[in-house]
Amino acid sequence: MINQRVTSNESEKRDIPSFIEPLPPLITNPFMRPRPNKGTNLMELFDEDSEVEEPELVQVYLRMKPHHAPTYLYEVKSDRCLITTVDTATAGHGRRTQHNVSKMYTFSHIFGSHASQKEIFERVVKDNLNKLPDGQSFTLLTYGASGSGKTFTLMGTVNSPGLVPRSLEYVFRVVDASQQPLFKPSDGGADKLSCTNQEYELQFVKRLRHVSASLRDKYRRMSAGLCNDLTVSSLDLSNKIRHYVWVSFVEIYNEGIYDLLSSTDRTNSSKLRIREDSNGYVYVKGATQAFVRSGEEAYDVMVAGKHNLQVAATGVHAQSSRSHCIFTITMLTETEGGVRVSCVRLCDLAGCERARRTRNTGARMAESRAINSSLHVLERCLHTLRRRGRCVPYRESKLTRLLGAGLSGAKGEAVSMVVTLNPAPEYAQETKHVLQLAAVAKDIQINNTIAETMMESSVQDSTISGNAEVMRLNADIERLHFELLQAEYRNKELMAAMEEKQQQTAASIQKFVAEARDICTQYYKERLRIMQKKMDDMREEYESRLENVAAMPTCETPSRELRFENAKLMTDIAILEEKLTAEQLARARAEEEVQHLRACIEERDDKTDEENTKVRENVISLCNDSETESDEEDTNNETLEPTFKKEDINRSAF
């Protein structure tokens, strides 16, 4: 029937797909594949209403910094779409090629250069703060090039307070947290405090607030300005639920975590460690928690922490953050069912930097390297997460280790990132890098016009090719710099792995030597004991024979047999004594060997496994030698030999 239809109507055959009569495989006729028309401007295809609504793990917002002159580099196409245009020129083979590359990046939302702090707070943070009493945590990162406005967005100024002071004010408007500190966050959970401890916590905050006492006037002005800005729908005044708000402030400086609320100096011992509880909640162990009961108290604590922050002048910014800092507001909600813990982490990431522009040297350069490499790890983590990859390298930097659970979405924690962009043309390279890391859908090339021109006059040619060469070299320097960073990071990883391996080897060698020494000592002790026993037996026998001789009837000269017997006994004793001395010497020699081996190992515990195996064979052969020596000597007394075997030594761990 199908055949009939196929033969009867050719056009019908094309309309109705059939598996019995398939189309010819595309591989034999590849030109039948549908292809986009060349030169199509994808922007024409881009329909603003049909934007992809796939939920993102991380909500990424873009904030443009105000710029005095209009720039053609960045065009905000809609409230989600940014278009960048970069001109590059290359020269070679007698031609000059001008690339005019436009790319489109999309974000969860774009805040233009006139967007206010209030607008950003309402869109990015407010809803997440409302969910805090329900146990829903939230992390906010600000990311961008140095001087692009990250700290401004988070901290702000007195006249234009940032997201942190706004959040602190807002939290105390959402909940009533003015009671005594009955519970305190501890290792991912909450501990109940005794009356004495509650008093201590209150005194501690009082002491911290002394630091910022001179700035209280500033706070009052700021708070007055915020009064109208912050609108709260309802205040939770339920009697059965009580809230306790604690704040902590830490910074990640040169891959070490330091407490900004503690007065201790920055030493290796004051570094804090990251821990993970059994539920996978990652936290900074030992970070100071300050109990706060109002926006003012919390603001004062934040200002006290800012005093300890690492800030320095670089070639691009006079007050550049030299570390990633994390301000955490932890809310404990006491209900009839127990205590719920939720937190808001507000992270001001240090800006990615280019050595050429910052002109950093010495300590600043080392800081730059630590900043860039941890941002590079963050970039790799986001890439892997977006590709739904499994091996996300969270553990490669402190920052990603701390934020890992939130970024992966495993704990149902909301994560948002505000990317700050400085539209000044001189920051184009840094901005390109930032956009590549951060944009939700990125790097979509929408225009790539190439103009090739034959080079005309030689003077003009040399200028153009010179410029092109400079640009090419600059690009090469950029690439090499990036490769250097990657290589440095890999090198660091390898060094750490090597160090760990060395430590393991040294530990196993020490264990082996200790075991070998025990076995040798035991072996020789046993041999000595046996020899001693033999001697005692012989002596006893000799004495009994002497007694027999004494008991024999006296005659003037001892008989020939008696003299012979006597001489034989004396010889036996002499042989046995000789053997005993030899045994003692052998034991002393063996102990000396073991000491020598230990000394060698302690001197050079970086020996390879092969060398360690040699050491092991030496000890085994040492025991074997003494074993064979004694075997030869004592073939007639096998039953008295100690029961050690060389397997005893083989068994010892190495």
Contact residues for ligand ATP (CB under 6 A)?
Answer: 65-66, 144, 146-152, 317, 319-321, 350-351, 420
Nearest-approach distance from CB 120 to ligand ATP, in angstroms? 9
Question: Using CA atoms, how far apart are residues 205 and 292, in angstroms rounded to an integer?
Answer: 7
Q: Which is nearer to ligand ATP, 321 or 374 (CB)?
A: 321
* Tokens found for residue 144: 């961008």
Nearest-approach distance from CB 155 to ligand ATP, in angstroms? 8
Q: Which is nearer to ligand ATP, 144 or 406 (CB)?
A: 144
Q: Which is nearer to ligand ATP, 167 or 612 (CB)?
A: 167
Q: Which is nearer to ligand ATP, 149 or 181 (CB)?
A: 149
Residue nearest to ligand ATP (CB): 149
Question: Using CA atoms, how far apart are residues 88 and 471, in angstroms rounded to an integer?
Answer: 8
Q: Hey, what amino acid is at 208?
A: L
Nearest-approach distance from CB 322 to ligand ATP, in angstroms? 8
Nearest-approach distance from CB 220 to ligand ATP, in angstroms? 21
Per-residue H/E/C for 286-304: CCCCEEECCHHHHHHHHHH
Which stretch of DSSP H or E encloses residue 532?
Answer: helix 458-551
Nearest-approach distance from CB 320 to ligand ATP, in angstroms? 3
CB contact set of 7 (below 8 Å; sequence gap of 6+): none
Question: Using CA atoms, how far apart are residues 609 and 604, in angstroms rounded to an integer?
Answer: 12
When computed from its CA atoms, the radius of gyration of the chain, rounded to whole angstroms, is: 40
Nearest-approach distance from CB 66 to ligand ATP, in angstroms? 5
Q: Which is nearer to ligand ATP, 363 or 574 (CB)?
A: 363
Q: Which is nearer to ligand ATP, 149 or 185 (CB)?
A: 149
* Tokens found for residue 491: 């090198």
Q: Which is nearer to ligand ATP, 311 or 567 (CB)?
A: 311
Question: Using CA atoms, how far apart are residues 523 and 627, in angstroms rounded to an integer?
Answer: 9
**Torsion on CA atoms 76, 64, 146, 117, rounded to nearest 10:** -160
Q: Hey, what amino acid is at 549?
A: V
Q: Which is nearer to ligand ATP, 350 or 619 (CB)?
A: 350
Is residue 343 a contact partner of residue 329, using CB atoms and an 8 Å limit?
Answer: yes
Question: Using CA atoms, how far apart are residues 305 and 300, in angstroms rounded to an integer?
Answer: 9
Nearest-approach distance from CB 478 to ligand ATP, in angstroms? 20
Is residue 125 a contact partner of residue 140, using CB atoms and an 8 Å limit?
Answer: yes
Q: Which is nearer to ligand ATP, 24 or 362 (CB)?
A: 362
Paired with 102 in beta bridges are 85, 447
Which stretch of DSSP H or E encloses residue 567?
Answer: helix 560-603
Nearest-approach distance from CB 432 to ligand ATP, in angstroms? 16
Please report the sign of the dihedral spanned by the C-alpha atoms of residue 236, residue 237, residue 241, residue 244: positive
Q: Residue 46 class from Cβ within 10 Å (0-12 exposed, 13-18 middle, 19+ buried)?
A: middle
Nearest-approach distance from CB 222 to ligand ATP, in angstroms? 15
Q: Which is nearer to ligand ATP, 362 or 553 (CB)?
A: 362
Which is it for strands 109-111 and 58-64: parallel, antiparallel or unpaired? parallel
Classified as helix, coil or strand, 191 is strand
Is residue 408 a contact partner of residue 389, using CB atoms and an 8 Å limit?
Answer: no
Question: Using CA atoms, how far apart are residues 167 and 125, in angstroms rounded to an integer?
Answer: 8
* Tokens found for residue 32: 């039948």
Question: Using CA atoms, how far apart are residues 421 and 74, in angstroms rounded to an integer?
Answer: 10
Nearest-approach distance from CB 185 to ligand ATP, in angstroms? 28
* Tokens found for residue 96: 């000059």
Nearest-approach distance from CB 321 to ligand ATP, in angstroms? 3
Nearest-approach distance from CB 604 to ligand ATP, in angstroms? 46
Q: Which is nearer to ligand ATP, 193 or 438 (CB)?
A: 438
Q: Which is nearer to ligand ATP, 65 or 306 (CB)?
A: 65
